[in-house]
Structure 1
Amino acid sequence: MTHPFKTVDASRVSISQLMQPSHSNFGGKIHGGYILSLMDQIAFACASKHSEAYCVTASVDTVDFLNPIEIGELVTMKASVNHVGRTSMVVGIRVESENIQTGAIKHCNSSYFTMVAKDNTGNPVAVPGLILNDKTEVKRFLKALKRKETKQNRLQEFNSTSFSLDAYIEVLKGYNIKIDLPDHYQ
């Protein structure tokens, strides 16, 4: 690592790819798994560029497919480091598709990939800090902190030894489910 801090712009990456019939699902739209694979690749490129190290995907947060992508559209993915920890980075990715005949652009997905920098032996390594240059970058950093806090609270609640199913049974009655537990679970 040559820099103790890097700007968001220093590791920003974008890719564009024309969607072909081989990328489609049975419904004739571009397969979500194919888009996720491209997103993982751009997250790797962005995180590796920031950390100057090999990176692995630790988690993916908030994958919402907002609009379908059609065969023949040009998909553009834009990635930037939104947050850094000691050895991890949150890479924000925006996916847009463009109808190349009409020029119409659709926002298709925004997702957040947590990437961890590794050395040649597979151990986590420290990553450069992040220089935030504008309000948007500060907002993205703060939103990443909030997502992390929410995730930790959720894990703490549901993994706690004091977690009680009884505390949630009433809440579940409003859902389209039937609870049919064996007697020893009730």
Structure 2
Amino acid sequence: MEAKPCIDSLAVKNSHVLPPDTNSHGTLFGGKLMAYIDDVAAIASVRHCRQPVVTASTDSVDFLQPVFEGDTICLEAFVTWTHNTSMEVFVKAITENLLTGERKVCTTAFLSMVAVDEHNKPTPVPPVYPESKEEKWLHEGAGKRREQRNLRRKESKELAEMFGTGLPWKSDE
């Protein structure tokens, strides 16, 4: 497969924050923002591999700035790194007060997306290469982030085994 530049996968999503999107503090629901992040990451990864994708993981999502009712939210996503069937996608969310023009980065996140075939089995993706200074910086750190994801996934599996599906969460020891 021919390698593609990071910028070819760029996806941008804009939305106006309306009253049904907000909590009792008048700010965007965190879960709504997380859904936007997952959606734009999926668009970027499909744009890169031209295959259906599934979300394998979302790294920590830190809410750096509130997003108020009446603001807009702009999310930008692109593939930063690939590994066989998976892609790391970087997402940046910017909030803008339309009346003042003030813009702030409110969230950044990395997601791992996996390309799947018609049987929902992982399928290879093309390599990606960085061009800009920022893309190179993200690309160079991807291996370390992948190691951290793999460790976190192992710990999540251990938690799932320990807690299982039953209640209460109490051992007989």
Counterparts of 1:154 and 1:57, CA distance in 2:
15
Cα shift readout 1:129-182 (whole Å, capped 9, x = no counterpart): 01221332121012221112234356668989xxxxxxxxxxxxxxxxxxxx98
Structure 2: 5+ residue runs without aligned partners?
Answer: 159-169
Question: Structure 2 CA distance, aligned partners of 1:157 and 1:62?
Answer: 15
Q: 1:148 aligns with which of 122, 132, 146?
A: 146
1:9 corresponds to: 7
Mapped to 2, the partners of 1:15 and 1:158 lie a distance apart of 31
Shift of 1:27: 2.0
Please state how far the C-alpha of 1:12 moved relative to its aligned partner.
0.7
Separation (CA, whole Å) in 1 of partners of 2:134 and 2:89: 14
Judged with a 3 Å threshold, the aligned counterparts in structure 2 of structure 1 residues 159 and 103 are, in CA distance, closer, same or farther, namely closer
- Alignment of 1:89 with 2:97, yes or no, is no
Classify the secondary structure of the residue corresponding to 2:62: coil
Give the deviation of 1:103 after TM superposition: 0.4
Residue of structure 1 in register with 2:165 after alignment = none
Q: 1:129 aligns with which of 127, 150, 161?
A: 127
Task: Please give the alpha-carbon distance, in whole angstroms, between the structure 2 residues aligned to 1:45 and 1:159.
Answer: 28
RMSD of the alignment, in Å?
2.1
Q: Which residue does the alignment assign to 1:113?
A: 111
User: What number of residue pairs does the alignment pair up?
Assistant: 162
Match of 1:58 among 51, 56, 62: 56
TM-score by length of 2: 0.86
Separation in structure 2 between the aligned mates of residue 110 and residue 34 of structure 1, nearest angstrom: 15
Change (3 A) 1:118 1:70: same
Distance in 1 (CA, whole Å) between partners of 2:156 and 2:115 is 29
Question: What TM-score, normalized to structure 1?
Answer: 0.80
2:29 to 31, 36, 51: 31
Name the CA shift for 1:121/1:155 in 2 (closer, same or farther; >3 Å). Answer: closer
Structure 2: how far apart are the matches of 1:157 and 1:22?
36
Equivalent AA in structure 1 for residue 148 of structure 2: T
In structure 1, runs of 5+ residues without a counterpart are 161-180
Q: Which has the larger radius of gyration?
A: 1
Contact 2:81/2:129 (<8 A) preserved: no
Q: Are residue 77 (structure 1) and residue 75 (structure 2) matched?
A: yes
